[in-house]
Amino acid sequence: MAEKARGPRPPRRETPPREDEGPDADVGVEARIAAGVLLNAALEKRNGLDEALSYREVAALPPQDRAFARAVAMAALRRLGEIDQILDRRLKTKPNDAVMTILRVALAQTLVLETPAFAAVSTAVKLAERDAKTRPYKALVNAVLRTIGREGPGLTTAEANLPDWIAARWRATYGEPALVGLALAGRDEPPTDLGVKPGVDAAALAESLDGFVLPGGAVRTGRRGDIAQWPGFETGDWWVQDAAAAVPARLLAVQPGETALDMCAAPGGKTLQLAAAGAEVVALDRSATRLKRLSANLARTGLSAQVVAVPAEDWDDARVFDAVLLDAPCTATGTYRRNPEVLRATRPADIAKLADVQHRLLDVAAERVKAGGRLVYCVCSLEREEGETQILAFLRRNPAFRTAPADPAAVGAPADALTAEGWLRILPSQWPEHGGLDGFFAARLERVG
């Protein structure tokens, strides 16, 4: 796909194209059906894609086909606006949703994953033949896809991949140039970042994974596949954690022997960081299911923390801590590079609803901080109501706290993430020289009274 006023850029693959498909083979048709199921589930509701992985159409597939189906669905989600721009130019009248799904799945393969066009078109036509709702459109599917393959997709805009209301918000908050950068950041599958356990040679680990060491010490790799087979997994040398998600725990700057509370700990990367730094950590989360992953990673890495399945506001314990980390529940709009479905599933009302939760949790967190202790508040959201506005309001109602300005270089954050107030506003479009990172807001506060 071409980008507005920038010319074409080769896409990165979510997964290698399949090589076992021929124009007359049925191999891959079921995987395409599953891709459509996953795509539609993601468009219908938050967590829909993850839930749909257990649906019969997906779960019954062989592992290779299941992985292919997910990769196609993710590619379609990342480029949905661009795909629809291409289709709008070729369709005089928009067909029914089932036909649109077939076309979207096919274009995600040919234009994003670089699947051979004959395979994508052939299986799309076969899909149309299988259902009474789509059978009358078989010739249309064939003609549209072959025309696009012959004439090219034409010019598209990365901004089209953002829902209109999200684009309007980000344009108003960050400006038009930043909006373009944010849109471009979401077009391709991001690399995998690894938090490295102390004592492990990060450079050697990076070399073994065909990666490199990021500022802050994390390792970034473009490797795909089963992470349990990667070097250093069984020996507990690392855990998966986006580079931006690693910043808040570094900002907390715990010292060996200090006490630390991770209030909304699952899936656990920040708890592992605090434990690796030598703190005595208590990790709370309302979801016992999500804490299983944290407990498994603690066991694998040989790190220790007290893990408690309880909502932070209901924890019946009188302890206060040297350091408190609140990674609050949020819309997670900053994670759209990895989870493109969040932008489609989030609604404007969700922001205000979650802001109320964040307000309450911040006040609970404040009560857990010792005199002279530190509190770091963070969210993986790009919405000001969940970040800057929360801290401004918190400081007004909690005069015992003040901002402790962040040092981006010291915590492995982009230099341009530092705000005038001394907080960190990390955007996915930052760090282009390293390949970007998730969006985060983080503020470090000190209790002075």
Active-site residue set: 380
Region of 438 (left: φ > 0; alpha: ψ -120 to 50; beta: rest) is beta
Would you list the DSSP string of 147-188? HHHHH---EE-GGGGS-HHHHHHHHHHH-HHHHHHHHHHTSS
CA 217 vs. chain centroid, Å, equals: 20
Query: What is the β-pairing status of strands 219-221 and 280-285?
Result: unpaired
SS (H, E, C) 56-107: HHHHCCCHHHHHHHHHHHHHHHHCHHHHHHHHHHHCCCCCCHHHHHHHHHHH
CA-wise closest residue to 292 among 307, 306, 305? 307
| Per-position b or e across 12-47, b if 16+ CB within 10 A of its CB | bbbbebbeebeeeeeebbbbbbbbbbbbbbbbeebe
Q: What are the backbone angles phi and psi of residue 315, rounded to the nearest 5°?
A: -70, 120
Structural contact between residues 342 and 46, judged by C-beta atoms closer than 8 angstroms = yes
For residue 430, give both structure tokens: 């930052």
CA distance 392 to 410: 24
